[in-house]
Amino acid sequence: MSMAGTPSTTVNARLPTLRARPSRHAVVAGLERRRVIENPDRRSFGAQVGGGDCLQAGLASAANLVPSAGIPQDMDNRTMPPAHGEINHVSDTALMAAACRALETESDDGFVHDPFAARLAGERGLAILRALPHPDFMRFGLGARSRFLDELLQEALASERILTVLSVGCGLDTRPWRLELPPELRWIEVDFPGILDYKDGLMAGEPPRCLRERLSADLNDREQRLAMYRAAGRAPVLMITEGLLMYLPAATIEALAVEACQEGSVAHWIADVTTSAFTKAIGGTDAMRSFQRVQASDCLAGEQILDVVRRNGWVTTARRSYITDMAFARPRIERMMAGRPRPEPPPIAPDDPTGVHRFVRK
Ligand SMILES: C[S@@+](CC[C@H](N)C(=O)[O-])C[C@H]1O[C@@H](n2cnc3c(N)ncnc32)[C@H](O)[C@@H]1O
């Protein structure tokens, strides 16, 4: 559910695995279209759905839920051997997230529709996903996360004065291209330069639906974070940190929570939270180990991240819970469990905060 910082200052050099090879024409077209800001550059997941359903049995048969059909073979990240499923850099997790969205998109009962995800994930993204202990589990969770985040974002844009979205650790997210957005909305995508270049290469021919910009930054560097707040400006900002915080050092999470409104104009913050209790209850602990090598040595668990956020004055104003808001997934769960015995729901406290939150400052 949570996706997999690394002490990222040292690993950025290893990013060439993310090389894209766009046509020159495509790159030029894309550059004309976007404003570029460059700064230095055991149970199962769905248990308790609707009060007692469980996915475990469905997950057991899940190998068939991760088909290869539909993912283009002619991918630009083919500098890696096709079956290379290792996660070597934290940006590799963005490929994996895109692979989840690609498979969701081609499935009739997928939770998110992202027509660009297959292109962006490529063979390597799919290989990374397949190499995880429970790829189906990851895909289901990431699909739900994307859907919840889409909903909370659209609600906030409809009801609040938000002029700029700051998508921090944007990876291969394609909301500026796939969502109906106010054309005058500024949308700043922030990530390491390698993953941004890779994405721009593959998205160059696609017109965004808002004023999409990009900013290369290592979030662990204060000067680069300050450049990010300056780029966002003084108008009301909504910050998204989707699938990011679990990788970062504790000090960076603390800094984001403090600086977002002191140094920047972030009034709304959408982030996903997955508690250790939830991960354990759904049998996802081994899957999360796959990401350890690209997590900071002092990364925080979901409940600790929430403590940091709350201690710095942020309160949840809207939320989607992976435990109580999953009714939409019932038909899919029923299909996955067809003919299998239903295990007991896992022991998750009903008030577990796992899910996607929109925070505002008190
Ligand atoms: C799991 S991916 C999530 C991507 C995207 N938000 C999504 O949900 O698909 C995590 C992203 O955070 C970025 N990231 C991690 N640590 C970072 C850092 N210190 N500075 C900038 N970006 C970072 C990675 O490069 C990667 O793109």
Q: Is residue 3 scored above 80 in pLDDT?
A: no
Q: Is residue 7 scored above 50 in pLDDT?
A: no
Q: Is residue 141 scored above 90 in pLDDT?
A: yes
pTM of the model: 0.81
Higher pLDDT among residues 26 and 179, named by residue: 179
Ligand 1 atom 27: the closest Cα is on which residue?
Answer: 171
Instruction: Give percent of the chain with pLDDT exceeding 70.
Output: 77
- Compute, in angstroms, the gap from residue 91 CA to the centroid of ligand 1: 6
Residue 153 · residue 243 · CB < 8 Å? no
Q: Is residue 345 scored above 80 in pLDDT?
A: no
Q: Which of 114-128, 159-173, 274-288 has the lowest mean pLDDT?
A: 274-288
Choose one of 111, 247, 292, 294 to mutate for the ligand 1 pocket test, by most ligand atoms within 8 angstroms of C-beta: 247
Question: Taking the CA of residue 85 as centre, how many other CA atoms within 13 Å lie in the half-sphere pointing to its CB?
Answer: 12
Does residue 242 have its Cβ closer than 6 Å to ligand 1? Answer: yes
Mean residue pLDDT across the chain: 80
Split at pLDDT 50, 70, 90, the class of 338 is confident
Distance CA 307, CA 285 (A): 21
Split at pLDDT 50, 70, 90, the class of 362 is confident
Domain ranges of the chain: 8-361
Q: Is residue 284 scored above 70 in pLDDT?
A: yes
Does residue 90 have its Cβ closer than 6 Å to ligand 1? Answer: yes
Q: Is 146 helix (H, G, I), strand (E, B) or coil?
A: helix
Superfamily for domain range 8-361? Vaccinia Virus protein VP39 (3.40.50.150)
Beta strand pairing status for 211-216 and 35-36? parallel
pLDDT tens, residue by residue, 203-217: 999 999 999 999 999
- Per-residue burial over 75-93, b if 16 or more Cβ lie within 10 Å, else e, is bbbeebeeebbebbbbbbb
Query: Angle at the Cα of 92 (from 321 to 117), degrees rounded to 5?
Result: 65
Ligand 1 atom 14: the closest Cα is on which residue?
Answer: 169
Q: What integer pLDDT is reported at residue 287 of this predicted model?
A: 78
Atom of ligand 1 nearest to the CA of 101: 9
Distance CA 129, CA 203 (A): 22
Higher pLDDT among residues 85 and 100, named by residue: 100
* Helix pair angle (117-130, 193-203), 10° resolution: 130
Atom of ligand 1 nearest to the CA of 224: 20
Q: Is residue 356 scored above 80 in pLDDT?
A: yes
Split at pLDDT 50, 70, 90, the class of 16 is very low
Choose one of 12, 91, 218 to mutate for the ligand 1 pocket test, by most ligand atoms within 8 angstroms of C-beta: 91
Q: Is residue 114 scored above 50 in pLDDT?
A: yes
Choose one of 192, 198, 305 to mutate for the ligand 1 pocket test, by most ligand atoms within 8 angstroms of C-beta: 192
pLDDT tens, residue by residue, 17-66: 333 333 322 322 222 223 323 333 322 222 222 222 223 222 222 222 32
Ligand 1 atom 24: the closest Cα is on which residue?
Answer: 91
Q: Is residue 220 scored above 50 in pLDDT?
A: yes
Does residue 244 have its Cβ closer than 6 Å to ligand 1? Answer: yes
Distance CA 151, CA 156 (A): 9
The amino acid occupying position 191 is: D
- Compute, in angstroms, the gap from residue 247 CA to the centroid of ligand 1: 8
Distance CA 110, CA 99 (A): 13
